[in-house]
Amino acid sequence: MYLTSGPSRRLQLGQQTIELRHARPWELLLPGRPAGEAVRALAWLGRENAQGAVQQLRTALPAPELRELAAARTRMPSWMAEAVSGLLAA
């Protein structure tokens, strides 16, 4: 399964099926970076678990990635931006 800004669809390549799943623009932030993976993990975990996950991210990500994640908060949904905003305060 791959996230895409295009429509969701399935592609058949020989015996293999590839699923393209539409994602909201904020879910595709910071592609190819650990901070981008953190955005997608937070989206998967959801609003209820975001605060706890951010605490774990603080120890798991290097400082430059934490800064990138915090800088991208203006493009995130409000619940995620609120959770991420605490990264710079600590």
pLDDT at 89: 66
CA dihedral 61, 62, 67, 72 (to 10 degrees): -40
The token duo for 51 is: 């605060």
* Overall pTM surpassing 0.75 (yes/no): yes
pLDDT tens readout for residues 6-26: 999 999 999 999 999 999 999
pLDDT tens readout for residues 59-69: 999 999 999 99
Give the Å distances, CA to CA, from 62 to 14, 20, 45, 58.
41, 30, 21, 8
pLDDT at 88 over 90: no
Please report, in angstroms and rounded to a whole number, the separation of the first and last CA atoms in the chain: 35
